[in-house]
């Protein structure tokens, strides 16, 4: 048992000793002086000027004036939770990392999810990559797996990161647009960066608009190393697999959520944890033996490439559970600082040039964001492993280092603190053999920019392909400079002709196959200047089912939100039965009505309304149910918001159910095709529309639940849109 475990096996990182509890306490100054009047500043007479001597006022205002710190340059918008990680069985043959040895040990974690581009106050539903940063408080020190929900990145070398971020952030002259890549500077940059094309496929797919943080994958992105206690190293790629499956919203919905509830993802995570529906992910690893380093068509050090799961399967080795919300957003979520350089014995880095740059960047950025070199002492960042070294002083130092000795070697401190040999947990970098010439270059294999982009495209289902095309049309449609649009279409043509053709059609363009890449910048190791844009390797890239969300888990409605639309006189028995069935399956039925307060059911019972039609919208729900009760249905029909609610749920391909008099309401909504023809049958008239004349909701409940578990019913899309 580890030290953490001996204390309390179920314990998450204990911040208790830092937590203020003001219950039944007097208000004080920061010096502990009790304050007698916190309503009035000190004045020369009741109507006189304030006095400079008012130290109470000055302390309070000064503190307030300095409450804000710089937001993160990227990943500014985020939310986080505490939890724990448990390995399924000892990973000793692969790694000596202590937190991956003993299945009975629960390692505390703090996980922060984020968007990349927007400011701290921007919407959760921007089309963007999501950060997925995990801090493991292990007994060997903190291990940070600072990943994303997309397994590749835009660029191959850290030196391009400032350019990428400048291009995607709001444009510098007018600070527009906020939290969006749909503007000229981003696509100008991308259209000149063929290496970004694989990533572009992912960010233009629905992966970039997740339904929930709890329903997205996570990836370490880079290739790392596992090292076991015999010193044997293997390459490893890290994955997080959500147990609820991978699901997304649609773009129209995302834009509407941004207005209706910009905190949608933050709220979703918070509420799930408050409700005891703890989010879970399995930890997966892809292992590549050292001797197989060069057996792939791509370079393992290239962060724009994945190792397809069909080539190297993902082995699930443990589980992450988030079970506690932070007490204070600023103290924990804002002040947490991650760093890919925070590793533990058994896990090591590789020469991926993107990772190498990150190893510098995180400490550097935190020096200014958190105000000095002591941010590791902030409670959320403190390791549970003891810290001893000869670093001293600096802004806001918390530790009181006793004694005279702040250097090593020393004799006055008895030689302490001393270096740790490997057998007592000392970190020893993997002794990789390096033999090369200094060069500003990349290996040849980095230059296949399109094969994996094509692999991603080929692996998508038809609805996913349609969404990707629409996303590109939207983004490029917002671009003002025509040459940029044309350049992007030419770039897409290198990935797939049909893709480029469809995007071009939406933009009113022809596909021009000729790439216009004016750059000539790479010097490979052999010294020959290589064209920046090599000929794409036209390999048969095949298909990887693991890349399509269509193949994800669809067997649960756990935590799904279902709106029950009702008004006074709703069918009591039907709602009771439906609520029972939904709750039993783990979903969350919510009564949405024309007004707040209580509704009177058909039986005269008073039932509390959860949301009014003014504060709720269908984009906040996964499915809708319209019960019978003639009075209720009539009232809803007169309410345009209720009709829109169902029409929008239909448009976004969500499951809709109605029975008894509820069918009248469905008719009034004039949904496309069968569902609107006024001849609702006793069976579903269209995928995901479950209708029954019978008053008893119990009869359709299980069908309704099965349909909700499918997440969306894309077949309906064809009827709504002109073909994408
Ligand atoms: Fe980051 N990144 N990044 N990044 N990154 C930051 O660190 C950087 C990259 C990622 O919730 C910053 O403390 C460079 C890839 C996450 O606090 C900064 C490069 C991946 C978070 C930084 C990358 C990430 C950050 C900004 C290219 C996925 C949020 C604030 C070489 C594997 C962590 C901060 C949190 C944050 C630099 C590329 C993930 C500036 C230079 C690839 C999840 O240091």
The predicted-structure confidence for 331-366, as pLDDT tens digits, reads as follows: 999 999 999 999 999 999 999 999 999 999 999 999
Give the mutation target among 72, 74, 113, 352 for probing the ligand 1 site: most ligand atoms within 8 A of CB: 74
**Predicted local distance difference test score (pLDDT) of residue 22:** 86
**Predicted local distance difference test score (pLDDT) of residue 232:** 98
CA-wise closest residue to 87 among 58, 64, 109: 109
Q: What pLDDT digit, counting tens, does each position of 443-464 carry?
A: 888 988 999 999 999 999 999 9
* 9 is known as an active-site residue: no
DSSP secondary structure string for all residues of 658-672: EETTHHHHHHHTT-S
Mean pLDDT for the stretch of residues 290-312: 96
- Phi-psi category of 324—alpha, beta or left, where left has phi over 0 and alpha has psi -120 to 50? beta
Mean pLDDT for the stretch of residues 638-654: 97
CA distance 94 to 482: 52
Ligand 1 center–CA 320 separation, angstroms: 21
Ligand 1 center–CA 19 separation, angstroms: 29
Predicted confidence (pLDDT) at residue 679 exceeds the cutoff of 80: no
Q: How confident is the model at residue 437 (pLDDT cuts 50, 70, 90)?
A: very high
Predicted confidence (pLDDT) at residue 683 exceeds the cutoff of 50: no
Ligand 1 center–CA 520 separation, angstroms: 28
Which secondary-structure segment (H or E) carries 56? helix 55-65
Q: How confident is the model at residue 721 (pLDDT cuts 50, 70, 90)?
A: low
Nearest CA to ligand 1 atom 43: 131
Pocket of ligand 1 (CB under 6 A): 72-75, 78, 112, 114, 131, 133, 146-148, 153, 158, 161, 221, 303, 337-338, 354, 357-358, 361-362, 365-366
Ligand 1 center–CA 116 separation, angstroms: 9
18-55 as b/e: b if 16+ CB within 10 A: eeeeeeeeeeeeeeeeeeeeeeeeeeeeeeeeeeeeee
Using CA atoms, how far residue 19 sits from 14, 65, 128, 332, 407, in Å, is: 10, 23, 34, 11, 33
Nearest CA to ligand 1 atom 14: 358
**Predicted local distance difference test score (pLDDT) of residue 720:** 62
Question: Which residue's structure tokens are 């400032």?
Answer: 162
CA distance 692 to 697: 8
Ligand 1 center–CA 362 separation, angstroms: 7
Among 35-49, 573-587, 684-698, whose mean pLDDT is lowest?
Answer: 684-698
CA distance 198 to 306: 10
Nearest CA to ligand 1 atom 38: 358
Q: How confident is the model at residue 538 (pLDDT cuts 50, 70, 90)?
A: low
**Predicted local distance difference test score (pLDDT) of residue 306:** 98
CA-wise closest residue to 460 among 714, 145, 194, 722: 714
Q: How many residues does the chain have?
A: 724
Q: How confident is the model at residue 42 (pLDDT cuts 50, 70, 90)?
A: very high
Q: How confident is the model at residue 12 (pLDDT cuts 50, 70, 90)?
A: low
Q: Which of 36, 66, 82, 148 is flagged as catalytic?
A: 148
* 75 is known as an active-site residue: yes
Q: How confident is the model at residue 685 (pLDDT cuts 50, 70, 90)?
A: low
Predicted confidence (pLDDT) at residue 676 exceeds the cutoff of 60: no
Mean pLDDT for the stretch of residues 86-113: 98
CA distance 713 to 585: 20
CA-wise closest residue to 665 among 689, 685, 646: 646
Q: How confident is the model at residue 719 (pLDDT cuts 50, 70, 90)?
A: low
CA distance 98 to 2: 9
Average model confidence (pLDDT) for the chain? Answer: 92
Please report, rounded to a whole number, the percentage of residues in the chain having pLDDT higher than 90.
87
CA-wise closest residue to 689 among 129, 571, 671: 671
Predicted confidence (pLDDT) at residue 534 exceeds the cutoff of 60: no
Predicted confidence (pLDDT) at residue 677 exceeds the cutoff of 70: no
Q: Which of 9, 30, 40, 75 is flagged as catalytic?
A: 75
Whole-prediction pTM: 0.95
Nearest CA to ligand 1 atom 30: 72
Mean pLDDT for the stretch of residues 652-664: 97
Q: How confident is the model at residue 4 (pLDDT cuts 50, 70, 90)?
A: very low
Predicted confidence (pLDDT) at residue 1 exceeds the cutoff of 50: no
Ligand 1 atom closest to Cα of residue 355:
31
Q: How confident is the model at residue 686 (pLDDT cuts 50, 70, 90)?
A: confident
Contacts of 569 by beta carbon, 8 Å cutoff, 6+ apart: 600, 601, 602, 629, 630, 631, 632, 635
Q: What pLDDT digit, counting tens, does each position of 494-516 carry?
A: 899 999 999 999 999 988 766 55
**Predicted local distance difference test score (pLDDT) of residue 529:** 38
**Predicted local distance difference test score (pLDDT) of residue 18:** 83
Nearest CA to ligand 1 atom 24: 147
Please report, rounded to a whole number, the percentage of residues in the chain having pLDDT higher than 70.
91
Ligand 1 center–CA 113 separation, angstroms: 12
Report DSSP state, residue 33: P
Q: How confident is the model at residue 6 (pLDDT cuts 50, 70, 90)?
A: very low
Mean pLDDT for the stretch of residues 533-552: 78
Predicted confidence (pLDDT) at residue 608 exceeds the cutoff of 70: yes
**Predicted local distance difference test score (pLDDT) of residue 3:** 44
Give the mutation target among 70, 158, 362 for probing the ligand 1 site: most ligand atoms within 8 A of CB: 362
**Predicted local distance difference test score (pLDDT) of residue 723:** 42
Structure-derived torsion over alpha carbons of residues 354, 358, 361, 366, reported in degrees to the nearest 10: 150
Q: What pLDDT digit, counting tens, does each position of 222-253 carry?
A: 999 999 999 999 999 999 999 999 999 999 99
223, 296 contact by CB (below 8 A) = no
């Amino acid at each position: 048992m580890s030290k953490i475990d001996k204390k309390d096996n179920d314990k998450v990182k204990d911040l208790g000793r830092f937590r203020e509890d003001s219950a039944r306490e007097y208000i004080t100054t920061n010096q502990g002086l009790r304050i007698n009047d916190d309503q009035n500043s000190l004045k020369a007479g009741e109507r006189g000027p304030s006095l400079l001597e008012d130290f109470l006022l000055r302390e309070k205002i000064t503190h307030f004036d300095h409450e804000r710190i710089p937001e993160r340059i990227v990943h500014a918008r985020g939310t986080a939770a505490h939890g724990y990680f448990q390995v399924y069985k000892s990973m000793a043959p692969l790694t000596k990392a202590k937190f991956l040895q003993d299945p009975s040990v629960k390692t505390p974690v703090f996980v922060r999810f984020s968007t990349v581009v927007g400011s701290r106050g921007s919407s959760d539903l921007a089309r963007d990559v999501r950060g997925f940063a995990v801090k493991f408080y292990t007994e060997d020190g903190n291990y940070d797996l600072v990943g994303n929900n997309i397994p590749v990145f835009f660029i191959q070398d850290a030196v391009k990161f400032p350019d990428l971020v400048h291009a995607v952030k709001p444009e510098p002259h007018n600070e527009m647009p906020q939290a969006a890549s749909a503007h000229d500077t981003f696509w100008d940059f991308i259209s000149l960066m063929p290496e970004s094309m694989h990533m572009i496929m992912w960010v233009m797919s629905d992966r970039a608009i997740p339904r929930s943080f709890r329903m997205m994958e996570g990836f370490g992105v880079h290739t790392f190393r596992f090292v076991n206690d015999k010193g044997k190293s293997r390459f490893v790629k890290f994955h997080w697999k959500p147990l609820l499956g991978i699901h997304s919203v649609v773009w129209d919905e995302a834009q509407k959520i941004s207005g209706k509830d910009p905190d949608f993802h933050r709220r979703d995570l918070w509420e799930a944890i408050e409700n005891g529906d703890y989010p879970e992910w399995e930890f997966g690893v892809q292992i590549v033996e050292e001797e197989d380093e060069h057996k792939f068509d791509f370079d393992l050090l290239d962060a724009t490439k994945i190792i397809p799961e069909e080539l190297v399967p993902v082995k699930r080795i443990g589980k992450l559970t988030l079970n506690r919300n932070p007490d204070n957003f600023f103290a924990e979520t804002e002040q947490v600082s991650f760093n890919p350089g925070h590793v533990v014995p058994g896990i090591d880095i590789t020469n991926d040039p993107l990772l190498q740059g990150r190893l510098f960047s995180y400490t550097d950025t935190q020096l200014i964001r958190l105000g000095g070199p002591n941010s590791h002492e902030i409670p959320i960042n403190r390791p549970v492993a003891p810290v001893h070294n000869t670093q001293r002083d600096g802004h806001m130092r918390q530790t009181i280092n006793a004694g005279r000795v702040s250097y090593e070697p020393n004799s006055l401190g008895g030689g302490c603190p001393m270096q740790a040999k490997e057998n007592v947990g000392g970190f020893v970098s993997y002794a990789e053999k390096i033999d090369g010439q200094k060069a500003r270059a990349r290996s040849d294999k980095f230059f296949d920019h399109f094969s994996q982009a094509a692999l991603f495209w080929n692996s998508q289902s038809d609805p996913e392909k349609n969404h990707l095309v629409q996303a590109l049309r939207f983004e490029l449609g917002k671009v003002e400079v025509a040459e940029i649009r044309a350049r992007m279409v030419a770039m897409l043509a290198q990935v797939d002709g049909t893709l480029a053709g469809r995007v071009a059609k939406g933009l009113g363009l022809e596909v021009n196959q000729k790439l216009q890449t004016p750059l000539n910048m790479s010097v490979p190791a052999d010294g020959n200047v290589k064209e920046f844009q090599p000929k794409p390797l036209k390999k048969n890239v095949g298909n990887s089912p693991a890349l399509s969300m269509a193949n994800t888990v669809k067997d649960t409605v756990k935590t799904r939100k279902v709106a029950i639309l009702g008004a006074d006189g709703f069918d009591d028995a039907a709602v009771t039965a439906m609520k029972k069935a939904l709750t039993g399956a783990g979903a969350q039925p919510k009564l949405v009505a024309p007004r707040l307060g209580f509704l009177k059911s058909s039986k005269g019972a008073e039932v509390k309304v959860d949301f009014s039609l003014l504060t709720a919208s269908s984009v906040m729900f996964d499915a809708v149910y319209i019960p019978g009760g003639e009075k209720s249905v009539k009232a809803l029909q007169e309410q345009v918001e209720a009709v829109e609610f169902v029409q929008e749920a239909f448009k976004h391909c969500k499951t809709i159910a109605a029975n008894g008099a509820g069918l009248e309401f469905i008719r009034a909504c004039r949904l496309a095709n069968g569902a609107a023809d006024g001849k609702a049958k006793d069976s579903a008239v269209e995928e995901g529309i479950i209708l029954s004349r019978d008053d008893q909701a119990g009869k359709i409940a299980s069908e309704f639940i099965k349909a909700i578990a499918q997440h969306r019913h894309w077949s309906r899309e064809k009827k709504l849109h002109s073909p994408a």
